[in-house]
Amino acid sequence: MRHLLRLSALLTLCLLPASLFAQANPVKGNAILTHPVGQLGVKAVDLLAAGQVDAYQALRTRDDQNEWKKASAAEKRDMGERMRRNAPSPTTFAGLVRESGELTVNGDTAMLAATTAAGDMRAMFAREGGAWRVSFGPYFEPTLPPAVRIEGPALTSHPAIPVVQQYLDLVHADKTADAIARFGTAKAQAAWKAEPASEQRASAAFRKRLLPTRADLTRTLASGGLLLVEGDTATLNIIKMEPATAARGTGSSTTVAIPLALENGAWKIAQ
């Protein structure tokens, strides 16, 4: 919890305008990439992109390294995933720095900021024992396009729909593991594999109970399904109808949201 509170405070600080940290002669653009702080930033994003979170942690301040050592394996996995997800790719980092990067150094602290149409990037650094260390980031918040609503005939012909249909077929055939392996994102697959067998069985039963069959999906799409697309992510909102039973005199309906993500050019189930 202390780590999360500290991370939240740093994030708030880092998203403030860079002008609040201004120095007399800030380093700008391509020159940042030859500065020791800029080179440290390049190394940090390279390691995160390669999934080498422990090596990235070795670049951080002593306090951050001590916090990392105290974390459990599950906490390290979750924090490492957030760091990788929030960091810009090496190519994006270099492009942002060259286009609008500004490095401000004040004594033993430094802040690297870049704001472009693609989004905002922030990173903070501290000098310890004469060497620069990462104290936050690099963190990239992309500018997302407005959500696009897809419904009606355009929805039934959207490339995500066959993926959802095949996923549902496997879930309702009691083959959830195969469904995730074939149609889940890399993150969804990793999360499934990390669960113990008992939790996998419970999750499979829950999905089968909650999600509609292919036939139910087809009827719903024809009568009013909705796909909301936001960049490389999307949510398919469908209505699952429950028929009346002897115990329940009237039927009911439930809105089910299926998260999707575009991965390597193909739509995948993101859970």
User: pLDDT truncated to tens, each residue of the chain (271 aa)?
Assistant: 444 434 444 444 444 444 444 445 899 999 999 999 999 999 999 999 999 999 999 999 999 999 999 988 878 888 888 899 899 999 999 999 999 999 999 999 999 999 998 899 999 999 999 999 999 989 998 887 788 999 888 999 999 999 999 999 999 999 999 999 999 999 999 999 998 999 899 999 989 988 999 998 988 887 778 999 988 899 999 876 555 555 555 545 568 889 999 999 999 999 8
- Give the helix/strand (H/E) hosting 7: helix 2-14
108 and 190 in a single domain? The answer is no
CB 237 within 8 A of CB 226: yes
136 and 152 in a single domain? The answer is no
Q: Which residue has the tokens 């990067």?
A: 101
10 and 138 in a single domain? The answer is yes
CB 257 within 8 A of CB 234: no
Q: Where are the beta strands (DSSP E) in the chain?
A: 27-28, 102-106, 109-116, 119-128, 131-142, 148-151, 226-230, 233-242, 252-263, 266-269
Q: Looking at 109, 142, 175, which one is the last position of a domain? A: 142
Q: Looking at 142, 172, 192, which one is the last position of a domain? A: 142
| Chain-centre distance for alpha carbon 60 | 22
Q: Looking at 89, 115, 142, which one is the last position of a domain? A: 142
190 and 258 in a single domain? The answer is yes
**What are the backbone dihedrals phi and psi of residue 203, each rounded to the nearest 5 degrees, phi first?**
-65, -40
> In the chain, how many domains are there?
2
Q: What span, in angstroms and rounded, lies between the C-alpha atoms of 15 and 254?
A: 39
Range of the domain at 216: 148-269
In this predicted model, what pLDDT tens digit does every residue of 47-79 receive, in sequence order? 999 999 999 999 999 999 999 999 888 788 888
90 and 159 in a single domain? The answer is no
154 and 250 in a single domain? The answer is yes
99 and 204 in a single domain? The answer is no
62 and 157 in a single domain? The answer is no
CB 40 within 8 A of CB 125: yes
18 and 131 in a single domain? The answer is yes
81 and 168 in a single domain? The answer is no
96 and 160 in a single domain? The answer is no
**What are the backbone dihedrals phi and psi of residue 242, each rounded to the nearest 5 degrees, phi first?**
-110, 120
Q: Decide: pTM greater than 0.95.
A: no
User: Residue 105's beta-bridge partner residues?
Assistant: 110
State the average pLDDT for the chain.
86
Q: Which residues of 21-51 are buried (b: 16+ CB within 10 A; e: fewer)?
A: beeeebbeeeebbebebbebbbebbebbbee
187 and 243 in a single domain? The answer is yes
